[in-house]
């Protein structure tokens, strides 16, 4: 069999893996695209370095891939990448080779022998409550784009949606009378999330203006995507990030924040207000409570900072105490 035929069969193995992720694993299309990209890049690297001469013939071609091959690939393609990036790439490769093992195509999973770099623990980015309120108050819901942008940012903060979940929403997913939104999250798991009053008002204005414009018939509008660009197509995650960037600039907030940072702000503010961690987990759609507990670390760091800045018995340098409490009256109760 020639090399061209081998390439087609190798592509077939990747195609079967993609279908497996969609059907058996219920992976999102974004995850499937990412995993497919990682495996295809590995295939290209191995082909470039002459590995196509070993054991050609469909998925069986992968029998020749060793732990050393994978380490060379990662070192050559991604030198100096941070731990979280490498961990995602290794996870994709492990999943692919595990799929081939399950199908009996290869005897063992070589990616098991590749250790991911230790991930650094980063606290999630978020805005303090006062800055988040400044951001939302600065929104100008004038015109079609203004009403859409206000509805987007209000909904992100009100319900803690992932940006991918937000741009995938359809009109029928928003239940204004019930004050909820139906979300299809990771693994195609559906959840119902409450929507706050301000977000409901912003959504009502946005939807009412669209209905008056009469750009789509009733059935198409009900089934179609909720947030559209000015050309009528589905809004992208990158477009939402640009909308947020402009809103931050307009509000005079001099820091970077991604749409995911609004989700972190939602969770952190709920936790600081005393909300139950399990309830936050359900609203965020986290499969594991350990993921939600990242926000507990944010909360603890916030409490420590408040304690150190405010408590009269907190240890501070003398200069700091003098600067912080000039003539302050203390409540002795």
Verify whether residue 263 is a known catalytic residue.
yes
SS (H, E, C) the chain: CCHHHHHHHHHHHHHHHHHHHHHCCCCCHHHHHHHHHHHHHHHHHHHHCCHHHCCCCHHHHHHHCCHHHHHHHHHHHCCCCCHHHHHHHHHHHHHHHHHHHHCCCCCCCHHHHCCCCCCCCCCCCCCCHHHHHHHHHCCCCCHHHHHHHHHHHHHHHHHCCCHHHHHHCEHHHEECCCCEEEEECHHHCEEEEECCHHHHHHHHHHHHHHHHHCCCCHHHHHHCECCECCCCCECCHHHHHHHHHHHHHHHCCCCCCCHHHHHHHHHHHHHHCCCCHHHHHHHHCCCCHHHHCHHHHHHHHHHHHHHHHHCCCCCCCHHHHHHHCCCCCCCCC
Q: Can 231 be counted among the known catalytic residues?
A: no
43-49 long-range CB contacts below 8 Å, 24 or more apart?
A: 43/10, 43/14, 45/73, 45/76, 45/77, 46/73, 47/7
Q: Point out the catalytic residue in the list 51, 89, 148, 263.
A: 263
d(CA 166, CA 236): 10
Is position 264 annotated as part of the catalytic site? no
Measure the CA–CA gap between 295 and 291, rounded to whole angstroms: 8
CB atoms within 10 A of CB 47: 16
Select which of 162, 206, 264, 269 is catalytic. Answer: 162
Catalytic residue among 51, 148, 260, 264, which?
260
Tell me, yes or no, if 286 is annotated catalytic. Answer: yes
Longest dimension (CA), the chain: 88
Q: Which of 51, 89, 264, 286 is catalytic?
A: 286
Among the listed residues 71, 94, 186, 228, the single catalytic one is 186
Q: Is 311 one of the catalytic residues?
A: no
Q: How many residues does the chain have?
A: 333
The residues annotated as belonging to the active site are 162, 186, 260, 263, 286, 295
């Amino acid at each position: 069999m020639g090399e061209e035929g081998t390439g087609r069969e190798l592509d077939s193995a990747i195609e079967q893996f993609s279908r497996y992720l969609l059907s058996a694993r219920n992976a999102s299309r974004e995850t499937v695209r990412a995993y497919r990209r990682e495996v295809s890049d590995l295939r290209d690297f191995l082909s470039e370095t002459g590995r196509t001469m070993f054991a050609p013939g469909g998925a069986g071609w992968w029998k020749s891939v060793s732990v050393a091959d994978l380490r060379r690939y990662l070192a050559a393609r991604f030198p100096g990448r941070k731990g979280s990036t490498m961990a995602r790439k290794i996870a994709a490769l492990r999943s692919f080779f595990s799929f081939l093992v399950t199908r009996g195509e290869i005897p063992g999973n070589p990616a098991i022998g590749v250790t991911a770099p230790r991930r650094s623990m980063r606290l999630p980015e978020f805005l303090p409550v006062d800055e988040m309120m400044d951001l939302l108050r600065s929104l100008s819901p004038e015109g079609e784009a203004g009403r859409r942008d206000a509805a987007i940012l209000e909904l992100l903060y009100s319900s803690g949606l992932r940006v991918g979940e937000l741009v995938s929403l359809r009109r029928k997913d928003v239940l204004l009378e019930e004050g909820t939104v139906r979300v299809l999250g990771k693994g195609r798991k559906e959840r119902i999330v409450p929507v706050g009053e301000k977000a409901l008002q912003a959504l009502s204005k946005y939807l009412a203006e669209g209905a008056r414009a009469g750009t789509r018939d009733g059935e198409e509008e009900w089934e179609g995507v909720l947030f559209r660009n000015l050309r009528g197509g589905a809004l992208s995650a990158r477009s939402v990030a640009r909308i947020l960037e402009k809103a931050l600039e307009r509000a005079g907030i001099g820091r970077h924040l991604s749409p995911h940072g609004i989700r972190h702000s939602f969770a952190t503010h709920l936790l600081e207000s005393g909300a139950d961690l399990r309830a936050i987990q359900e609203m965020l759609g986290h499969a594991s409570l350990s993921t939600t507990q990242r926000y507990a670390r944010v909360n603890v760091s916030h409490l420590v900072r408040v304690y150190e800045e405010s408590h009269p018995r907190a240890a501070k340098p003398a200069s700091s105490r003098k600067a912080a409490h000039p003539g302050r009256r203390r409540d002795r109760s």
